[in-house]
């Protein structure tokens, strides 16, 4: 497999209004770069940099979602949590039914 080296500017949002950009170099398989260029030429991103930044944001968001899911996973086997959830559901059942009826009449 052959690789192509490209320079990429990555936007890093450091909780300030103006994003900071940092220049870096990535080594990518040539087929990946070719497919990236095709996506850019089809208007799916403004540039290689934009495409890579979008892909990184997408992957980082997926990783964050997976971490959140993993944190909640033990709740499925937690008997105390399950009992509390059923109690809350029962307490809100009337309000939920009323809300559903209101929505159906609108």
For residue 104, the surrounding DSSP H or E stretch is: helix 79-105
pLDDT digits (tens, 9 = 90+) for 32-66: 999 999 999 999 999 999 999 999 999 999 999 99
User: According to the model, what pLDDT value does residue 63 have?
Assistant: 96
User: According to the model, what pLDDT value does residue 56 have?
Assistant: 95
Confidence class of residue 97 from pLDDT cuts 50, 70 and 90? confident
Flag whether pLDDT at 72 surpasses 60. Answer: yes
Flag whether pLDDT at 90 surpasses 70. Answer: yes
User: According to the model, what pLDDT value does residue 105 have?
Assistant: 77
Q: Is the pTM of this model over 0.75?
A: no
Distance CA 16, CA 33 (A): 31
In the chain, the DSSP E strands lie at 3-12, 20-29
Kindly state the average pLDDT of the residues 5-27.
68
pLDDT: is 22 or 6 the higher one? 22
Distance CA 41, CA 91 (A): 56
pLDDT: is 17 or 96 the higher one? 96
Q: What angle do CA 34, 35, 37 make, to 5 degrees?
A: 65
């Amino acid at each position: 497999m052959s690789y192509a080296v490209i320079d990429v500017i990555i936007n890093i949002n450091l909780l300030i209004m103006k994003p900071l950009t940092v220049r870096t170099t990535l080594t990518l398989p040539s087929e990946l770069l070719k497919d990236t260029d095709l996506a850019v030429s089809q208007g799916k991103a403004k540039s290689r940099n934009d495409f890579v930044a979008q892909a990184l944001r997408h992957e980082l968001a997926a990783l964050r979602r997976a971490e959140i899911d993993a944190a909640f996973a033990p709740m499925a086997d937690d008997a105390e949590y399950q009992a509390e959830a059923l109690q809350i559901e029962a307490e809100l059942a009337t309000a939920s039914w009323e809300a559903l009826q209101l929505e159906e009449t609108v």
